[in-house]
Amino acid sequence: MLKTLDILIGATTVLLIFSMAVTVITQAFTSFFDKRGKHLLAGLSGLLQQLGISSRDTAEKIAQAVLKHPAIATIEGKLATVVHRAEFTKLLMDLASGQSVGTIENDAKTALQEMLKKNGVDNPDETLSNIRTMALSLESAHPDIAAHVREDAAILEECATDYVAKVHSWFDQTMDRVSQAFAKHAQRVTVVAAFLVVLGTQLDILAVVDRLSIDDKFRDAVVSDAAKSMNDSAKKASEATSSYNIDPHSYYNLLNSAGLVTLPVSDQWLEQIKDPRKYPGMILAMCLISLGAPFWYNILKDLIGLRSTLAQKDDVQRSQRQLGQTAGGSDSAPGPPLTLGERGDLTATG
């Protein structure tokens, strides 16, 4: 039982360390090309069209001005990746008021002002000022209320218009669609990254499982390192800035020395990639790795916990058997003497 569990732990550890590489590549790609911000830009552009901005190009200009506003943009010139409903509601009025620190083109500003006017906001500057005053009054009267609750209450009190009603009706659904669209995009990037990682290293997960099954030293090395890494990760969980505190370099070196991965810099890489026997294991590895590092991290954590429990039970049962054998050997009475031949006196007469 423990051997089977050790094989699963070893295979899961290998999948985890390669999933971590795929996760890093995916995050780097989406961050460098600002994919999260662009998906949010597309979602807000659609929402602005629902609010009354007829031109898609104009809606994108307004949405871009919102996401680049200094109040929510974390990096200058980059699109913000998160915007809350109250922020979005106030930023549109701020951009239309003419007093904003954010920049917006004149044609987009005019279209925004017309949209707000059609939806009941005739004077964005005055309305925004009233919202701020009401939020301050609510904070003074109810300091225990959360900030976002005060903001929502102030908006509903001072700007009870079709504009706010439409934003409240459509904003959450729009954000859900944005999240789904970005998740699908990230999954596609993950699959491509998994393909490149598996192809580059020629990781054959079936060969890894076979090696774990027959090589006790290799299996023990992987399992012991995995257990140590998980223990260290648990101890540093409160201090860690990342969800994973596993150093993959030792595993890469171990797999490389065992001949289970081959880097493109190796002279044998081109010859080994032509071997069709590696393809099933590589395809399977690509599919499993694309599930993501969080998935395999949780699986490995559960397997390590299960192994610890089973090992403790096995130790207890072994100790009980040893104690039982010792007690049986010391307390049992000696048996009757062994009698050779037939019993009785054949010469006796009746």
User: Could you read off the pLDDT of 219-239 as tens digits, one per residue?
Assistant: 888 888 877 777 766 555 544
Phi-psi group of 77: left, alpha or beta (phi > 0 → left; psi -120 to 50 → alpha; rest → beta): left
Residue 252, CB-side half-sphere exposure with 13 Å CA sphere: 15
Residue 334: the pLDDT is: 52
Q: Which helix (H) or strand (E) holds 70?
A: none
Residue 165, CB-side half-sphere exposure with 13 Å CA sphere: 6
Residue with structure tokens 């699963």?
8
Q: What is the pTM of this model?
A: 0.78
Residue 346 pLDDT grade (very low, low, confident, very high; cuts 50, 70, 90): very low
Residue 335 pLDDT grade (very low, low, confident, very high; cuts 50, 70, 90): low
Question: What's at 276, amino acid-wise?
Answer: P
pLDDT in tens, 17-75: 999 999 999 999 999 999 999 999 999 999 999 999 999 999 999 999 999 998 898 77
Query: Measured between alpha carbons, how far is 121 from 160 in angstroms, rounded to an integer?
Result: 9
Residue 349 has pLDDT above 50, yes or no: no
Dig out the tokens for 281 from the structure: 């294991």
3-class secondary-structure state, position 157: helix
| Chain centroid offset of residue 164 CA | 34
Residue with structure tokens 């070196």?
253
Residue 337 pLDDT grade (very low, low, confident, very high; cuts 50, 70, 90): low
3-class secondary-structure state, position 331: helix
258 or 320, greater pLDDT: 258
In total, the chain counts a number of residues equal to 350
Dig out the tokens for 270 from the structure: 């081109």
Residue 257 has pLDDT above 90, yes or no: no
Residue 218 CB partners (closer than 8 Å, separation 6+)? 211, 212, 254, 258
Query: Measured between alpha carbons, how far is 214 from 3 in angstroms, rounded to an integer?
Result: 10
Residue 264 has pLDDT above 60, yes or no: yes
| Residue ranges per structural domain of the chain | 2-28+186-311, 53-118+122-160
Residue 240 CB partners (closer than 8 Å, separation 6+)? 233
